[in-house]
Structures are given as structure tokens and as C-alpha cells.
Amino acid sequence: MSLSKEIEEKTERLLRLMSQAGLGGLLVNSQANFSWLTAGGTNGIDLSRENGAVTLFLRRDGVRFLLANKIEIDRLLTEELDGQGYEPVEFAWEAEKGNPSIVIDTAHSLLTEELPLGSDLPLGGDARLVDGAIARARYVLTDTEVDRFKTLGRDAGKAIGDMARKLEPGIREREVARLAIDALAAVGAYSQVTLVAADDRLKRFRHPVPKDLRWKKVLMIVVCARRGGLIASLTRIVCDGPIPEDLASRTRGSAYVNARLFDGTKPGVTGRELFELAALAYGESGFPGEEHLHHQGGATGYRTRDWVAHPLSTEKVQNAQAFAWNPSITGSKVEETCIAFEDGIEIITATPGWPSIPIEVEGRQYLLPDVLSR
């Protein structure tokens, strides 16, 4: 599938959404949805915001518009939307600052029918929020997205593995984070989430934002690598010298839970069923109740998690949907990204040559990352 066909397929999904919801047009402003709809483009400047700097407007008849201020419009048309058929609609940056609903007002003026507008984010007007419906339109990856995702996962797994192998005890967590970010940048990726835990912090905190603590014995590195909008998540743990049995046991337990989740990630299975599967696996591995101390992960793609498995989740696994499971047992964690297909999952973030834990579930073997002893 070519990129143009990928974009047409996604456009058709949104046109169906508009028809079902009775909308005259759909505004796409979030950075995640912009990347999805444009097959890897970006409208992001300030990455601390979910909102992008410009808005795509898809009208019910299939005509596409770019709504943007004078600062951004030429760059977006040239570098992000070239050949995609967007008609530019420009307004002054002063007008944008002075009128919070200028995007909505402009979209209304472009309608050919008096029908409601839909939007993926609040844009200061009367558009109906339909982000959940747009998210569901994103879940099934196209063939070209699958290829890009696999390449991203391969590059991220190798980059972080190569970086982790070179680390020396005594380095601070913040420096490890910088090295991880640099390693991903070298392959054209951005670290959307970067967590680092040295020694006791690994035992205490599930989300260890890097601090100035120096690594002595055990170090965990977590990244969510973003490229072309797609996000691949992985965790790697390094130990200086022999691996303590307690750490080895907790890592094997986390790997077992991950393998059970991988095996259960099949089209039609609900988030609730996957959570129950994880809870059962924790008990079987000798660590009951750990599922209550941190979420287990879930669907991914253009957000780090589109939905998380939990006891009330009714979301269902789709064919060709990406998942990042991150089971953890206090003091250890295992995390890889995979894509679910009808015939089983494919892990995309494996690190070449990294020690692995083989787990067999229902006759199928899964290789999960072990602790690297250096």
C-alpha cells in the first residue's frame, strides 16, 4: 500500500464516521491525530501541548482544508502536506490570538450544508467532541503503518540496547536519560516518555522520573520512542555483576505475565478479559495482587496508550492493532511492544543479542527481555 492509498483509506474511515454521526465536517487538531491522518506528518511545535499549531478540516464531501495562521501555513503545505490535496485557508496570527473560536468559525464558513461540526479537541466553539470515535478509527493499522511500526520498534530496541550495554556504574539517572534520548534521536525518534530508576528507586516507584541518584547495582531504563507519530515502548534492566536471585525471580514473574498477555491478545478479546488474565498470571507466578500496584499497559499507536486493560474495560482487540504490555512485580518490570494479528502477536521492539526469558503458553514460545548482567 502506498502512502497516498493509506491516507485515502484513513480519510474514508473519517467520512464514514461523519456520515454515521450526522456531521458536516471534522476538525483534526491533536498532534497524534494529525500524524495519523497525514501518514507521519506533524503539526507540533510546542510538544508540551496536545493541541497542534494548525488544524486539518475534512468536509463531508471529502474536500480537505488546512486551517492555519500566516506563520505556519507555507511550511506545513511544503514540508508536511505536500501532495496530499489540502486547500489552504489562512488567517492572521493576531486574529487567532484575539478570537479563540476562529478555527470553528472558519470551518463553519466552509460548510456546504448546515450540519454540526465534529472535533478531536475543544477548539473554543460549538463543535461536537468526537475524539473517542476518531481514536477507534485509528486502531487498525494499515499495511504501510505496520511496516513503519516494525522498523521503528527494531531501531528503538537496538538503539536502547546498544546504549545500555555501554553504561558504567556511577552514572547519574539524569545522564542515563540523556543518553537514551540521544540514542533514539540518532535513529530519528523522539523519547515521548523517559524513565530511569537506579537501585532502591526501582523497588519504590513505578514511574521513576530521572533524578540525580547514581547507579550502583541495578538500573532500569524505560522509553516510549516516537517517530512519524507512532510510539513504541520498551523497558530494559541492567545489573552490574551477578543478578540477585530476588531480582531474577521477579523478572521471570513479570515475563510470565507478559507472555500470558501476549498469548491472550487476540482480536475480539476485551480489556477486562486481558486484565483478568494478567491477575491470574500474577498469582500463578507467585506474586498475587501485583496487578493492583500498576496498570498492565494496553493498546498503543499514536498515543503511548490508547486504552489500558482494567476490570471494567469493554474495548476489544482489533486485528492489526498495536499493544504495549508492561507488567511489573515490585523491583522489576518487563515491557515490549507488539502487533496483534489473527494468527498471533509479533513483538517489534526486541533488542538483538539481549538475554531473554523463554516462556511457553499454549504451545507457543515467547521471548521476553531478561536482566542484562555486565
pLDDT tens for the chain, 374 residues long, are 788 999 999 999 999 999 999 999 999 999 999 999 999 999 999 888 899 999 999 999 999 999 999 999 999 999 999 999 999 999 999 999 999 899 999 999 999 999 999 999 999 889 999 999 999 999 999 999 999 999 999 999 999 999 999 999 999 999 999 999 999 999 999 999 999 999 999 999 999 999 999 999 999 999 999 999 999 999 999 999 999 999 999 999 999 999 999 999 999 999 999 999 999 999 999 999 999 999 999 999 999 999 999 999 999 999 999 999 999 999 999 999 999 999 999 999 999 999 999 999 999 999 999 999 99
Q: How high is the pLDDT of residue 47?
A: 83
Residues 301-326 as b/e (b if ≥16 CB within 10 A, e otherwise) read bbbbbbbbbeeebebbbeebbbbbbb
Domain with CATH 3.40.350.10 in the chain: 3-138
- 143-373: CATH topology is Creatine Amidinohydrolase (3.90.230)
Question: Are 55 and 25 contacting, i.e. CB atoms less than 8 angstroms apart?
Answer: no
The enclosing H or E element of 114 equals none
Residue 94 pLDDT: 95
- CA angle, residues 83, 85, 88, in degrees to nearest 5: 110
Half-sphere exposure of 195 (CA within 13 A, CB side): 18
Burial class of residue 98, CB neighbours in 10 A (0-12, 13-18, 19+): exposed
Beta bridge partners of 373: 239
pLDDT at 162: 98
CATH fold for the domain made of 3-138: Creatine Amidinohydrolase; Chain A, domain 1 (3.40.350)
> What pLDDT does 48 receive?
80
In angstroms, rounded to a whole number, what is the distance separating the alpha carbons of residues 257 and 359? 10
Which of 146, 8, 25 is CA-nearest to residue 84?
8
CA–CA separation, 21 and 118 (whole Å):
9
Element (H, E) at 284: helix 271-284
Burial class (CB in 10 A: 0-12, 13-18, 19+), 241: exposed
Vertex 31: Cα angle to 322 and 349 (nearest 5) = 30
CATH 3.90.230.10 domain span(s) along the chain: 143-373
pTM: 0.96
